[in-house]
Structure 1
Amino acid sequence: ERAGVSKSLVSLVLRSSPKVSDKSRQAVDEAIEELGYRPSAMARSLVSRHSGVGGMITSNAHDVFYADVVAGVSSYVNEHSEGIVPLILHGNNNVEEEMLAARRFLELRAEWLMLMGSALTDTTIEGIGRETPTAVIGRWFESDVVDVIVNDDRAGAIMATNHLLDLGHRRIAHITGGGGNGSRTREKYYRRAMEEAGCEPLVVEGTYLQPGGARGARELLDAPGPPPTAIFAANDLAAIGAMDVFRRAGRAVPNDVSIIGYDDIAWAGLEPIDLTTINQPSRQMGETAARLVGKRRDDSNLRGQQVLLEPKLVVRSSTRAI
């Protein structure tokens, strides 16, 4: 009544319908502001059969990399997807917990679902994708049912290894991510770059977390023979863990050992760490995923897409020439 328009027109404005004229929209918006009205998301979802929930599942709550991906998702949703509230659950590197999280989102009738570093099988993911628009971030597989957004780990691993080789290092070790998504690809192309340079690969198992990197570093220090002059860690957290172990053992970084990581998390650029690393465009990955699932939410006939993003070398003070 305050806006001088019908209830049905008010409903169209609240749903951001393009059918409403600018003049009518302005009148309704002004009335809403004067009355201090806030629409009920629950009531709106019951009427529209849309939940307004966007689901995100991370494989590891402790991996800072995923925080940047989530920031990209949130940024895009806030700007382009009015009425969608992104929610996060964690799979904790456990297939059963991840599947339980996915079921919960499906029961909520989530508008879309994003799986970050998923441990689920391709078949299971495609099954989820048939129920709601789904994107997989950080893990490659070909599908026209879900969207896949990944960094080019092949190029990144070669870039990291060649950086150390170009600095004159020949005894270069690799601390793996323990079989996590992208870890085996990084290891494979580290090995290839080393072999092409005529160098012997030296691989120890780690994880994508600091304790895993520290464990790998201790194994390298305890091994017979001279320790490596350089280390390529599977991600930044592992690199930071390795850096701490070498420093505590009295070995300076980079004077005694050069260390390069992978991801370029916010911590990597802090002065006490100042880690040379491979930048994954994590925020762009999140924005791309949000854009693709949003399109398929609006048009169910669209097929899933595969997007391969390029990494970049970021040189800081943790590596040097010998």
Structure 2
Amino acid sequence: MQAISKLVLGTVQFGLNYGVNNKLGQMTVADAHKTLDLALNAGVRTLDTAAAYGTSEQVIGDYIKTKGQNPFNIITKLALKNGETWESSLENSFSNLGVDSIDTLMFHSYRDYLETRGEIQEILVTQKGIKFQKLGVSVYTNEELEAVAPDRDIDLIQSPFNLLDNHLHRSGALMKCKKHNKQVHTRSAFLQGLFFMKRNDIPEKIKPLYKEIEAVKAISEKAGVSIGALALNYALSKPYIDGVLIGVDSLKQLEQNLRWAQTKNLESYFEMIDNIMVRETSLLNPVNWN
């Protein structure tokens, strides 16, 4: 149950056709609601969404209406493009979600955080403790992690972390965040499904990672567990990670994730993963796959 409570359900697939290995497309509203029911009943208490995730917020809002009250801690991210202000983005999110407050308000990127830095005090003075409890930033690089870590106004930082973007690459920066009393959430546990892809299906630009992908697959075979179970539990096992974000394409996929999260006795294999070094680190960011 402890592992389940660290899971954060990502909801981008509720509103968009998302993911390099997503063969099912955007989830139907009915399936999204069934997925939320399953998550809630299993003990998952945190949802991750964003104004930029298509209709995701509306789908969650419709679900909350059916419950009569909000049963989740909601994290949503501001949309600060096309002239949108943080005030209008926040109000639109509340309207879509049908709520008066959320757990965490996040900047969708380090760039958004920098560009809105001068307004953070206004956001905190007028909204924190009323409209949201925590302010966060989603980042990509260790340089961004280390730059945000000392900021006393930031409570939560979200970063990639997985079998390749691993302890060797990330632990120093993530532990610096913990030293500054930040909550740390990680995403890309499955690297957008890359770990499940067959060699012939891997996009040409990502093939320099093939050797390392084969290495983690060999470790999963040695451990006698699926690559999914290994990947998810690797992130869940780290004491410097407070929440592990998982995105799912279907109800069946969430059921599978919940089973994976309860896999035991993998610690000795995690030590092997800790030392896998990726030289083409730019390819760990899916933005660079196109």
TM-score of the two chains, using structure 1 as the length reference: 0.28
TM-score of the two chains, using structure 2 as the length reference: 0.30
Structure with more of its chain in helix, by fraction: 2
Query: Greater Rg, structure 1 or structure 2?
Result: 1
Relative contact order higher in (CA < 8 Å, ≥ 6 apart): 2
